A and B are shown apart, each in its own frame.
Chain A
Amino acid sequence: MLMAAGLITTIYLALAAVVIAVDPYNVYRWGAHPRVEADVTLRDLVIDWIDVAAKDPAFNTFLIGSSVTQMYTPENTQEFLGPDEHMINLSYGGPRPRDRDLVLNQLIESDTVDHVILTFDWTYIRDPDVTNIYFPTFLYDDDIANDLRMVNFPTIRTAFDIIAGKDLYTHPDPASYQRYVDQMYERFQSPEEMAKIDSTVERYRSQIGRSSGKDCDSFHAINDQLVPDLKALSDKGVKVDVMIPIFSYAFYYVRRDDISPTVLDEMMIARRCLVDAASDLPNVSIYAFDDDPAVAGDLANFREIGHVYDPGVLRKFISAISTGSHRLTRDNFPSYERAVRSEVENYHTTNTYLDMVRALPETEHASSTSRTS
């Protein structure tokens, strides 16, 4: 028994020493300096590799988003923003204020950052200490004593890969993500799913516009974390484009069950507070597209109520940065807010794709359905 304990402790401490000496996540000054392959989108793996990316001189543009922006590739940004934009996508699923703040802090400390594209997710209506439970905060906080937690099986494997000479990180299976997204779209685009959404919309229609009673002082994650981070990046001369993700209008009805019963009001106030606090900062621009019912009202564009699928809409989203269209300012925000509130409150489930499928004769219907998959 004692020998087993001694063995486990010795092996663990030896592996910990190897991991910390190799430093596979580039959190220290010493060790290896692994890099990320230039045309790779890391998706959820990125939570461990924030420092690796932030310290890599090959990248100057950082997309800090959520599952909504995980499908963006470096080619997408270069297409619209030019060949000098060497983008890495640091989007991961379910960001929360505290981990988002830690990511931005790593970028503030980095010398290689020229351009940050940041999504203003609904998570900012949460409290500032709320954290994504899978995010390795111990890697990026100031407490060195908790760094031993990085010594887990994937990290040990990565450390030995580096020792073996493999210090260029890449996504293990890029095709699996596309399959996952396509399957999600296929499942979502069904009359049954639309009927469920429609019933939720009708059930909550009378309550959707309810006031939350909140004001700008209520959103500490914006006031105490995001705005200071934006100021710090702006002061460094970094260009920051804040994108308000396109949620479908149905999103506000369906997600009131797990975000907040007054999610529409809270998100509108939060956006207003952000625009008031940050739209005048040098180098900072804020963009939104969801006041267009052809985009946010049509569920044919979505693979889930909060996730756009249509590649055209996605390209439009990123091209706005280069053209400066759809920019929110203090002046145009009231009309934007009125439009979104009105569209959401008067929303009736719309899906042009399913309408088209229904209109087709039976044989074409079958072939159209198979085309989506």
Chain B
Amino acid sequence: MIFTDPLFLFVFLPIALAVFYAIAYYRGKNAALAVLFVASVLFYIPFGTVSAILLVLALAVNFSVAAMIHFMQDGSRGRLWIYISGQAYNFVTLCYFKYKIVTLIFGPSADLGVDIAGLAIPAGISFYTFQGAAFLADAYSREKNVTQFLGKLETPKSILAAFCRYGAFVSFFPQLIIGPITYLSEFNPQIQSKRFLRLNPIDLAVGLTFISIGMFKKVVVADNLAPTVDIVFGAADIGANISPIQAWIGALAYMAQLYFDFSGYSDMALGLARMFGIRLPINFFSPFKANGFIDYYRRWHMTLTRVIARFLYTPLSVAGTRYSMFNRLAPLPAHLLSLWIPMLINFQIIGLWHGALWTFCVFGLMHGTFIALETEIRASKWYKSFKKTTSPLIVGSIERAVFFLPLLLSLAMFRAESVSGGFHLYSQMFGFAFDARSLFNMREPVMTLMAAFFIIYCCPNSVELMRKYRPAIMTYENKSYGLSILRGLWRPGWVQASYISILVIASLYYVSRQPPFLYQGF
């Protein structure tokens, strides 16, 4: 099921909510979390029965490994090996089912192994695998929430209850397909709280508002830009002549489509979770208002950034720094080892996380280079003195102007159907094929684009709009940029309900058209 499907919104969700709160009232927390777990599996089954089996298997393996390492002594030799085998299971299934590693190595003509790998990529596999892997790491490092979360596991009933809690945590349907990747330290304190399971009208009102805004972003804005994007990138892929204006419109349309698609999903995820009394970490916080790539990654897919930084960048950077210090390397190689190489690897992995495509590789390389360059520039004396002597407004404007073009070009490569298609689009954007055949009627896409970029740059985001009600967990402390007029204005009332109803009705106008969320494919 996808969030914008009427079956989900008008049938599944009301039933899930009613059963959850009824069971919570009569049977308590464990039973309510079991309801969430079962609802999440039911939500997932339409993506494929095999995918659902894989999900439950991943949950069972990770839960068993976490339980074992949790109850083993610290000095025990087997503990590390069990932990490694649990993480290996995550890594291997991801490589096998997402990256089709067997097909990559043996080619499509091999037999059984390839046939199984030939299944469609299980929806959300990257997300639930990363969440499971982070949980295992927490269990291995004896993070205090894990002990509380797992409980004593003395009887079959307590083991089943713990498994259902774990299942609800990892497969919680608002976050299952596209994230956010949540840490147990964010989830567990909420379900331990006395307020959890209390039906709070504010939770429902905030949740409904997020869902309405998110649905509008996805169904009305992003999906209306999609046809233009498909036409332009399809033409670029076959090396067609595209007029520069249409090439720019195509690239900008994708930028906006991706923004509203992911932002819409993220809003809906926050809203759905909030209706069950759970706050998820923020994954999306006005990323295009960022003043550079460093700021951008604190606002775009924030939970992936922090997982990769925790498990990859920080260990690599620390190892590089230590190696440089112990071996007394010169400043330049030391700098390369502690910053550039970890950064490039970090962004290469972020690129490849989206899939095994060369376009993602180039995208990762571009972002790694841009971030490393930005880090150097921001550390330079010249920049520091410029920042000190110039008005913050001017500095911010220049930073954003400089940031915009590399971001646009890198996202165009991210969307391109091939690397050559991406470079061809660049050549058309900066080319002179003004006599090229028009690929689409421009009036509607241009109007939609103008509205989209007005929202992106001039309006507060959903979290800012509802900040009075602490709508989510702050993944990073981000500054709010842009106009502040509407921030914190939202209150549950008839006026707001009318606005929200308009958004829902506008979205329902397009309800017959159901393109999946872009991040669903990653």
Residues of chain A having any CB pair with chain B under 8 Å:
1-5, 8-9, 12-13, 16, 133-134, 136, 138, 145-146, 148-153, 196, 199-200, 254, 256-261
Nearest chain A CB to B61's CB is how many angstroms away?
30
Interchain CB contact under 8 A, A258 and B231 = yes
Beta-carbon contact of A2 and B5 below 8 Å: no
* B430-458 with Cβ < 8 A to chain A: 435-437, 439
The answer on a CB contact under 8 Å between B513 and A148 is no
CB distance from B501 to the nearest CB of A (A): 5
7 A-B pairs with CB atoms under 8 Å apart are A1-B493, A2-B205, A4-B500, A9-B14, A133-B227, A152-B510, A199-B435
Whether the Cβ atoms of A258 and B234 lie closer than 8 Å is yes
Complex contacts, A151 vs chain B, CB 8 Å: 6, 511
Could you say which interface size class chain B belongs to? 35 or more
CB of B201 within 8 A of CB of A2, answer yes
**The one of A1, A134, A146, A199 that contacts B5, using a Cβ cutoff of 8 Å:** A146
Tell yes or no: B382 within 8 A of A by CB. Answer: no
Looking at B237-245, B252-260, B335-343, B405-413, the stretch in contact with chain A turns out to be B237-245
Give residues 176-226 of B contacting A (CB, 8 Å).
Answer: 201, 204-205, 208-209, 226
**Complex CA distance for A153 and B204, rounded to whole angstroms:** 27
12 additional contacts (CB under 8 A) given A136-B512, A138-B512, A148-B5: A1-B500, A3-B497, A9-B10, A13-B11, A149-B512, A149-B514, A151-B511, A152-B509, A196-B437, A254-B437, A258-B240, A258-B439
A198 to B238, CA, bound (A): 21
Tell me the smallest distance from the CB of B455 to a CB of chain A, in Å.
Answer: 22
Q: Is B28's beta carbon under 8 Å from chain A? A: no
Taken together as a complex, chains A and B put the C-alpha atoms of A153 and B239 apart, in Å, by 40
Taking a contact as CB atoms under 8 Å apart, the answer to whether A16 and B10 are in contact is yes
Q: A149-B6, A261-B238 are in contact. Are A4 and B497 (CB under 8 A)?
A: yes
Of the residues B209, B437, B509, B511, contact of A200 by C-beta under 8 Å:
B437
* Residue numbers in B under 8 Å from A9 (CB-CB): 10, 14
Q: Quick check: is B329 within 8 A (CB to CB) of the other chain? A: no
Contact A258-B235, Cβ < 8 Å, known A12-B10, A196-B437: yes
Asked if A16 and B493 make an inter-chain contact with CB atoms under 8 angstroms apart, the answer reads no
B504 interface residue (CB < 8 Å to A): yes
Is B498 positioned at the interface, with any CB of A under 8 Å from its CB?
Answer: yes
B residues near A146, Cβ cutoff 8 Å? 5, 7, 514
Within 8 A of A (CB), among B471-502: 492-494, 496-498, 500-501
Select B241's contact among A2, A12, A13, A257, beta carbons within 8 Å: A257
Closest Cβ of chain A to B403, distance in Å, is 32
Chain B residue contacts of A148, Cβ below 8 A: 5-7, 10-11
Residue B508 at the A interface, CB < 8 A? yes
Check B107 for interface membership: any CB of A closer than 8 A: no
B511 / chain A contacts, CB cutoff of 8 Å: 149, 151-152
B333 within 8 A of A: no
Any chain A CB within 8 A of the CB of B515?
yes
Check if B48 is an interface residue, CB within 8 A of chain A.
no
The answer to whether B508 touches A257 (Cβ under 8 A) is no
Which residue on A lies nearest to B499, using beta carbons?
A: A4
**Contact with B512, one of A8, A152, A254 (Cβ below 8 angstroms):** A152
With a CB–CB cut-off of 8 A, which chain B residues contact A199?
A: 435
Closest to A149 in B: B512
A8 vs B511: C-alpha distance when bound (angstroms): 14
- Give every chain A residue within 8 A of B439 (Cβ-Cβ): 257-258
A8 to B504, CA, bound (A): 9
Asked whether any CB of chain A lies closer than 8 Å to the CB of B108, the reply is no
**Is B78 on the interface with A (CB-CB < 8 A)?**
no
B46 within 8 A of A: yes
Given A149-B5, A152-B512 in contact, is the A13-B10 Cβ separation under 8 Å?
yes
A8-B504, A12-B508, A260-B238 known; A2 vs B208 contact (CB < 8 Å):
yes
B118 to A: closest C-beta gap in Å = 15
Chain A nearest CB from B197 CB (Å) reads 18
In the complex, chain A residues whose CB is within 8 Å of the CB of B492? 1
A2 to B209, CA, bound (A): 10
Across chains A and B, which 3 residue pairs bring their CB atoms closest together, nearest first?
Answer: A257-B240, A4-B497, A1-B205
- Distance in Å: Cβ of B313 to nearest Cβ of chain A: 38
List residues of chain A with CB within 8 A of the CB of B238.
Answer: 256-261
Report the separation of the CA atoms of residues A138 and B242 in the bound assembly, to the nearest whole angstrom.
Answer: 34
A4: nearest residue on chain B (CB-CB)?
Answer: B497
Most buried by A among B5, B510, B512: B512
Q: How far is the CB of B495 from chain A (nearest CB, A)?
A: 10
Which of A133, A150, A153, A259 interacts with B515 by CB under 8 Å?
Answer: A133
As a 0/1 sequence over residues 463 to 477 of chain B, the CB contacts with chain A under 8 angstroms (1 = contact) are 000000000000000
Which of A4, A5, A12, A257 touches B436 (beta carbons < 8 Å)?
A: A257
Known A-B contacts A1-B496, A2-B201, A151-B6; the reply to A196 vs B435 at CB < 8 A is: yes
A4 to B204, CA, bound (A): 12
Q: How far is the CA of A142 from the CA of B338 in the complex (A)?
A: 56
* A2 engages B235 (CB within 8 Å): no
Min CB gap B9→A, angstroms: 8
Q: Give CA–CA (A257, B208) in the complex, Å.
A: 45
Q: Which residues of A contact B241 (CB under 8 A)?
A: 257
- Measured in the bound complex, the distance between the Cα atoms of B231 and A151 in whole Å is 29
Provide the bound-state CA to CA distance between A371 and B188, in Å.
78
Cα–Cα distance between A308 and B240 once the two chains are bound (Å): 25
Interface contact A1-B209, CB-CB below 8 Å: yes
- Minimum CB distance partner of A147 in chain B: B7
Q: Which residues of A are found within 8 Å of B227, using beta-carbon distances? A: 133
Give the docked Cα–Cα distance between A149 and B204 (Å).
25
Shortest distance from the beta carbon of B370 to any chain A beta carbon, whole Å: 32
Which residue of chain A has its CB nearest to the CB of B493? A1
Determine the chain B residues whose CB is within 8 A of the CB of A258 once the complex forms. 231, 234-235, 238, 240, 437, 439
B308-331: which residues lie under 8 A (CB-CB) from chain A? Answer: none
Chain B, residue nearest A48 (CB) = B512
Cα(A133)–Cα(B5), bound, Å: 16
Cβ B201 vs Cβ A145 within 8 A: no
Q: Is there an interface contact between A150 and B209, defined as CB atoms closer than 8 Å?
A: no
Given known A133-B227, A196-B437, contact A5–B208 (CB-CB < 8 A) = yes
List the A side residues contacting B208 at CB < 8 Å: 1-2, 5
Point out which of A5, A133, A150, A153 has the most chain B C-beta atoms below 10 A from its C-beta.
A5
In the complex, chain A residues whose CB is within 8 Å of the CB of B46:
145
What residues of chain A lie closer than 8 Å to B242, measured between beta carbons?
A: 257
**What separation, in Å, do the CA atoms of A152 and B510 have in the docked complex?**
7
> Given A150-B512, A151-B511, A257-B235, does the pair A2, B7 have CB atoms closer than 8 Å?
no
CB proximity of A330 to chain B, nearest CB, Å: 30
Question: How far, in Å, is B139 (CB) from chain A's closest CB?
Answer: 37
From residue B508, how far is it (CB to closest CB) to chain A in Å? 7
Minimum CB–CB distance from B12 to chain A (whole Å) comes to 10
A16 vs B10: C-alpha distance when bound (angstroms): 10
Whole-angstrom CA separation of A350 from B234 in the bound complex: 30
Query: How far, in whole Å, are A315 and B498 apart by their CA atoms in the complex?
Result: 56
Tell me, in angstroms, the Cα distance from A13 to B514 when the chains sit together: 19
- Does A261 contact B239, Cβ atoms closer than 8 Å? yes
